[in-house]
Amino acid sequence: MADIHNIPFLWRKSRSKANEQFGTGLLAQRQQVADNGSINFAALRRSSRLFIGFLLSFSLSTPCLPAPNAPSTPVIWPDTFLARVEIWALIETLNAELLAAHSATLILDKWCRDHKLAPEAHIAARRIAIGPQPLTDEQRKILRITPKDTVQYRRVALHCGDVVLSEAENWYVPDRLTPAMNTILETTDTAFGRVVQPLSPQRRTLSSRILWHPLPEGWEMEEPASPASDGDAHGRSVTPLTIPEHLLEHRAVLTTEEGEPFSLVVETYTNNILAFKHIHKAP
């Protein structure tokens, strides 16, 4: 167990090493996505392992918060440097997985399963009643809309169990889908990505925006606070972190294997991607 008086020094040393190893690797992957639209997942996994190793090694060498009395109660993230770094890593991880995927629905299936957000890891869609939303000229160009084409608008909340993970707007061309697919989309709440899987859709991201950065601008230049100062001597008084409702936005176009576009989506991911439950063991 580390001497409590050495915690600030150990924290600065560990954080510096983690920034160098994880941050450099993550920035390199983001640059690669910007340059050619691909991700080196082997390198990303190496960076993630180094980052997780930092979190575990520091957590094991410093005092832990006591176990909550009711593990089934949803966690309120504490407003600490470590919690903010963990949230940043989670947002960047989901962002990278979406950038590399051909189906956001399947990525959310995996996220739901990996984080045990519901007994059944299956993304379902709940339709949101709203009138047609016209396409902009730019959107019509992306979808290659002709005067003969009809465009349908569909807005849904994608949820895992009772937890809404994202809200999606979708403009699609019915004539470029099969009659069976159109029937399902018109009469059920099945997620669009699941319905069109037989087309082996290709997903091309048009834009990706992180809507909230848990670490303030210039955080790397600030002197980090000692973890001991996040609460009292027993770790009982930790201010909860205020997390905005929306964290990430993706705009993408879906095409057939032949490259014909048939859907344009705008997806906004909610703070419920962080709503999984932690169970802390007593030291």
CA distance 253 to 223: 43
255 falls within a domain:
yes
125 within 8 A of 189, measured Cβ to Cβ: yes
Amino acid identity for residue 61 in this structure:
S
- Write out the chain's pLDDT in tens, 283 residues: 444 344 333 334 444 444 444 455 544 544 554 455 554 545 544 554 444 454 444 344 433 333 333 333 445 788 888 899 999 999 999 999 999 999 999 999 999 999 998 888 889 999 998 888 899 999 999 999 998 899 999 999 999 988 999 999 999 999 999 999 999 999 988 999 999 999 999 999 999 999 999 998 888 787 766 554 555 444 556 788 989 999 999 999 999 999 999 999 999 999 999 998 553 333 3
281 falls within a domain:
no
What's the distance, Cα to Cα, between the start and end of the chain in Å? 11
Sign of CA dihedral 95, 172, 165, 129: positive
112 falls within a domain:
yes
91 falls within a domain:
yes
Domain count of the chain? 1
Record the pTM.
Answer: 0.70
31 falls within a domain:
no
12 falls within a domain:
no
CA distance 88 to 80: 12
Q: Residue 250 sits in a domain of what CATH number?
A: 3.40.1410.10
**Which residue range(s) make up the domain with 214?**
63-219+227-274
Amino acid identity for residue 89 in this structure:
A
189 falls within a domain:
yes
